Structure 1
Amino acid sequence: MSSIYQHFRPEEKHFIDTVLDWKEYVENTYAPKLADFLDPRQQFILKSIIGEAADVKYKFFGGKEQSERKRVLLYPEYFEPSNEDFQVGLYEIEYPRKFIRLEHPMVLGSLMSLGVKRDKFGDILVDEDRIQLFSSEEIEQFLMAEFREVGRAAVHLKKLPIHEAIQESEEWKEKEISAASLRLDGIISSVFNISRQKSQTLIEQKLVKLNWKTVENPAAECMEGDMISARRLGRCRIIELLGTTKKNKSRLKVGILK
């Protein structure tokens, strides 16, 4: 069992144990297990633990194909999952658009202030003055009743069919890069073509997030499945570690969103 943990960060041990519990549940009950929304790093960890040839299968769904945050359904071989099994709802935020403009951080902050955990919400979609969000249908009644304000704006939710989700125009560009190491500052430097010193400054100024958490250590080691965001530069996702070059540099496949 300890051999599993050595491939991941110490702080990820709790999530690994949770995935193992889900797997054991499906094996013992021969019934599907639906979990909350996972970020891309958590999805990668789950894929690594469950594997492709196991008796327990898995599928992700977050509302649409390009969703970043997705719910996971673990199930036995006989089960054939459909999108409805994921209980993902799409909700449009209605508000006085003529007088105020809402943004992604404002909406997320208001949702979190309700005391609901982040893993109950999926992606928040923005298209000019339209804002939608994916959420677990299990908390739909609570959201409809309690989500009434964002900033100073009065709001209410309107449920929509999943196929009416906003189609955002953002495009990830895949690219292979080489970096001196897997240190966070080195990855940022290589991905965004800036100096190592500048990437270190960004990290020290708390302008960089690793898997949605602010990181102040330039030497933090990056792993496959990690999401990195640097303010004013963009975001990147480590898709795959490709080994090392002849000069002993790390080779990586990354997705870049600017």
Structure 2
Amino acid sequence: MEEKSKDFLAGRLKDLATKAYHNSFLTHTDFLSVSELASVYRIFASEGVPANVHEYCGSKYVVYGGFEDAERAMVCFLPDYLDEESFLAAENAEPSVLKCIHITPVNNRFSDDLTHRDYLGSLMNLGIERDQIGDILTGEKEAYVFSTPEIGELICKELIRIRHTSVKCTMVNPSECEIRPAFEEISGSVASERTDAIVAFVYHLSRAEAQKLIESESVFIDGRTAYSGGYDLKAGSRVSVSGHGKFIYLGQSGTTRKGRCYVNVKLFV
């Protein structure tokens, strides 16, 4: 499915936030991709919403994907009787805006080694739209899928086989999912916050090698192709590099005497 346009997103966000504010009930988007979430933040910024103020059109909002650092997430607009802490506590106790499905083989002995692509492909074959599914976290012989409530029920009823493996699906509380993307935090000094400089630092490349990756359209920032190595990364930017991996740029923590930047990165391993 094509990603939502900025104009569509802007209208949808305003409509949901206004409904939450005036009618005092919780509203939310479907699952948004990394690039769509980046567009959401740009929309908020363009309308003068400070980055540290989680309020839009009078309604408080929370970006929620079922766990911290989820790549795909919903923007939830809260009624006046809820704040972020109470919303997260309520979702942890009795999930309402999303569901978590635990997928396991019927027989471990005769199961395939399934990948993220295998799980996603089987879900798409059920006719499910991508914006109805959040992150898919895979482990050894199991996976957890975050979805909208209606789609969660469908998955539990209809998903019985992935490749040659018979599977069973169980609805669980999101807090029961113990799989998380593995990462390590790294820090060091770079000449600047330019994309090519940060990519070279993270993956131990020369600036020329990093630039070649960018020129071959192998670098993506917040889900969008990076066409210039001269773009300065912003704290919170999610960067993926084909053939190398992905990381979240956490920002600067200071400068050296020679004017170089100390930077911090969360590198997924």
Same-fold call, TM cutoff 0.5: yes
Residue 134 of structure 2 is matched in structure 1 by: 122
Query: 1:33 Cα shift?
Result: 0.9
Residue 74 of structure 1 is matched in structure 2 by: 77
Tell me which of 27, 32, 39 is aligned to 1:33: 27
Q: Deviations over 1:15-61 (max 9, x none)?
A: 34432332233233333212222345655654672552743111233
Q: Deviations over 1:140-181 (max 9, x none)?
A: 232233334333434342222333213337134153653545
Residue 91 of structure 1 is matched in structure 2 by: 101
Find the aligned partners of 1:75 and 1:131 in 2 and give their Cα distance: 30
**1:24 is matched by which residue type in structure 2?**
T
Matches within 5 A, 1:4-153: 12-39=6-33, 42-43=36-37, 46=40, 49=44, 51=50, 52=53, 54=55, 55-79=58-82, 80-81=86-87, 82-83=90-91, 84=94, 86-95=96-105, 96-99=107-110, 100-153=112-165
Find the aligned partners of 2:71 and 2:182 in 1 and give their Cα distance: 12
Distance change (3 Å), C-alpha of 1:44 and 1:85: farther
Residue 200 of structure 1 is matched in structure 2 by: 211
**1:106 is matched by which residue type in structure 2?**
D
Query: 1:89 Cα shift?
Result: 1.6
Whether contact under 8 Å (2:219, 2:239) holds in the other structure is: yes
Find the aligned partners of 2:182 and 2:139 in 1 and give their Cα distance: 11
Whether contact under 8 Å (1:225, 1:240) holds in the other structure is: yes
Aligned CA-pair RMSD: 3.6
Whether contact under 8 Å (1:175, 1:256) holds in the other structure is: no
Distance change (3 Å), C-alpha of 1:90 and 1:31: closer
- How many residue pairs get aligned? The number is 246
Find the aligned partners of 1:69 and 1:225 in 2 and give their Cα distance: 14
Tell me which of 218, 222, 236 is aligned to 2:247: 236
Distance change (3 Å), C-alpha of 1:97 and 1:207: farther
Query: 1:88 Cα shift?
Result: 2.1
Structure 1 length-normalised TM: 0.74
Structure 2 length-normalised TM: 0.72
Distance change (3 Å), C-alpha of 1:252 and 1:26: farther
Q: Show structure 1 runs of 4+ deviating over 6 A.
A: 241-251
Residue 254 of structure 1 is matched in structure 2 by: 265
Unmatched 5+ residue regions in structure 1?
1-10
Whether contact under 8 Å (2:99, 2:149) holds in the other structure is: yes
